[in-house]
Amino acid sequence: IMDRLYASMLNTLDPHSIYLSRKDLERDNEMLRGNFEGVGIVLQVRNDTVCASRIIEGGPAENAGVMAGDRILKVNGELVSGVKMPSDSVVARLRGRRKSVAEVEILRLSEGKPRKVKIVRNVITTPSVSYSGMIDEKTGYIRLDRFGESTYEEFYHAAAKLKNEGMQSMVLDLRGNGGGTLSTAIDICDEL
């Protein structure tokens, strides 16, 4: 009840003020740190179907053969697709301690029938700079997915590498960036 009260009070301040429960804060802090323990699948729920929208490179799911586009039907024998399960509940079932096993039943449309995959959970590291490279001889491109603890350092190294490749101007892509720590954003602005 208190969580709903706090959330209601903060909603009246401005569009950027929100209340985070302890659980939500822990989840957000994991994202800002850029690492967590799990299987390495980015989920998307479409029409009550749980899909692997992206597989984190070098992660446990990739090593187990899971591919982007696979539908996730069950996690440890529990049905997660077709039951209107919220995506954060599916994520909670996929996450777990390092070296523990998640048995995931997937359906790959090209195969036509479901199969079970055992995924050994591990520490998943997600970089803030998802891509950097040269667009042409003078223009560099850096895509920032969030402003986390390691973002400034990642940005600095990516920009230095592009400068060495001849970058004179830069496209800084912030599309889809969910935000993060203000001090990191300020540090990057200072660099620019």
Q: What is the mean pLDDT of residues 109-114?
A: 90
State the chain's mean pLDDT as an integer.
Answer: 87
- Whether the predicted pLDDT of 4 surpasses 90: no
- Residue in 106, 99, 159 with CA at minimum distance from that of residue 129: 159
Query: For 88, how many CA atoms within 13 A lie in the half-sphere containing its CB?
Result: 5
Query: Quick check: helix, strand or coil at residue 46?
Result: strand
pLDDT digits (tens, 9 = 90+) for 113-160: 999 999 999 988 778 898 999 999 999 999 998 898 889 999 999 999
Q: Phi, psi (5° rounding) for residue 82?
A: 80, 10
pLDDT digits (tens, 9 = 90+) for 34-62: 667 889 888 888 888 899 988 888 889 99
Helices (H), 17-173: 22-33, 60-63, 87-94, 151-164
pTM exceeds cut of 0.85: no
